[in-house]
A and B are shown apart, each in its own frame.
Chain A
Amino acid sequence: MADITVHVIDREGVQHDLEAPIDMGLNMMELCKASDLPVEGTCGGMALCASCHMYVESAHLEQMPEKSEDEEDMLDEAFFVEDNSRLGCQIKLADLHDGLVVRLAAVG
Chain B
Amino acid sequence: MIQTDIIIIGAGPCGLFTVFEAGLLKLRCHLIDALPQAGGQCSEIYPKKPIYDIPAYPEVLAGDLIEKLMEQIAPFKPGFTLGERAEFIEKDAEGQFIVKTSHGTAHRAPVIAIAGGLGCFEPRKPPVEGLADFEGHGVEYIIKEPDIYKGKRVVISGGGDSALDWALYLANGVAEEVTLVHRRDSFRAHPDSVQKVLDLAAAGGMRLMTHAEVIGVNGGSDGALAELTIKHKKEGASQLEVDHWIPLFGLSPKLGPIGAWNLNISKNAVEVDTFDYQTNVPGIYAIGDINTYPGKLKLILCGFHEATLMVQSAFKRIHPDKSNVLKYTTVNGVNAF
Instruction: Give the residues from 212 to 253 in chain B that come closer than 8 angstroms, CB to CB, to chain A.
Output: 213, 215, 249-250, 252-253
Identity of the chain A residue whose Cβ is nearest the Cβ of B125 in the assembled complex? A108
Residues of B within 8 A of A46 (CB): 46, 49
8 Å CB contact of A51 from B127, B158, B252 = B252
Given A42-B252, A43-B45, A77-B249, also A108-B118 (CB < 8 A):
no
Identify the stretch in B70-78, B181-189, B200-208 within 8 Å (CB) of chain A at 4 or more residues.
B181-189
**Is B126 a contact partner of A42 (Cβ separation < 8 A)?**
no
Residues of A within 8 A of B184 (CB): 72, 76
**Is B188 a contact partner of A79 (Cβ separation < 8 A)?**
no
Any B CB within 8 A of the CB of A81:
yes
Number of A-B contacts (CB under 8 A): 57
Any A CB within 8 A of the CB of B12:
no
Further contacts, 14 of them, CB under 8 A, given A77-B249, A80-B215, A108-B127: A42-B252, A43-B45, A49-B45, A76-B158, A76-B182, A76-B187, A76-B188, A77-B124, A77-B158, A79-B126, A80-B127, A106-B127, A107-B127, A108-B252
Output the least CB separation between B256 and chain A (Å). 15
Chain B positions near chain A (C-beta within 8 angstroms): 45-46, 49, 118, 124-127, 158-160, 182-184, 186-188, 213, 215, 249-250, 252-253
- Cα distance A80–B213 in the bound complex, in angstroms: 7
Any B CB within 8 A of the CB of A100:
no
**Is A76 a contact partner of B183 (Cβ separation < 8 A)?**
yes
- Cα distance A50–B127 in the bound complex, in angstroms: 14
Residues of A within 8 A of B249 (CB): 50, 76-79, 108
**A44-75, CB under 8 A of B: which get 1 and which 0?**
00101111000000000000000000001101
Interface size class of A (residues with CB under 8 A): 20 to 34
Instruction: Give the residues from 22 to 55 in chain A that come closer than 8 angstroms, CB to CB, to chain B.
Output: 40, 42-43, 46, 48-51
Residues of B within 8 A of A50 (CB): 124, 249-250, 252
Residues of A within 8 A of B127 (CB): 79-80, 106-108
**Is B124 a contact partner of A76 (Cβ separation < 8 A)?**
no
Identity of the chain A residue whose Cβ is nearest the Cβ of B183 in the assembled complex? A81
- Cα distance A81–B184 in the bound complex, in angstroms: 10
Residues of A within 8 A of B126 (CB): 79, 108
Given A42-B252, A49-B252, A76-B160, also A108-B124 (CB < 8 A):
yes
**Is B125 a contact partner of A76 (Cβ separation < 8 A)?**
no
**Is B45 a contact partner of A77 (Cβ separation < 8 A)?**
no
Identity of the chain B residue whose Cβ is nearest the Cβ of A40 in the assembled complex? B252
**Is A48 a contact partner of B46 (Cβ separation < 8 A)?**
yes
Residues of A within 8 A of B183 (CB): 75-76, 81
Output the least CB separation between A81 and chain B (Å). 5
8 Å CB contact of A42 from B45, B160, B188 = B45
- Cα distance A94–B160 in the bound complex, in angstroms: 33
Output the least CB separation between A108 and chain B (Å). 4
Residues of A within 8 A of B49 (CB): 46, 48
Output the least CB separation between A28 and chain B (Å). 19
- Cα distance A50–B250 in the bound complex, in angstroms: 10
Given A76-B160, A106-B127, also A42-B213 (CB < 8 A):
no
**A71-108, CB under 8 A of B: which get 1 and which 0?**
01101111111000000000000000000000000111
Residues of A within 8 A of B158 (CB): 76-77
- Cα distance A107–B126 in the bound complex, in angstroms: 8
26 residue pairs from A and B, CB less than 8 Å apart? A40-B252, A42-B45, A42-B118, A42-B252, A42-B253, A43-B45, A43-B46, A48-B46, A50-B124, A50-B249, A51-B252, A73-B188, A75-B183, A76-B159, A76-B160, A77-B158, A77-B160, A77-B249, A77-B250, A78-B249, A79-B126, A79-B213, A80-B127, A81-B213, A108-B125, A108-B127
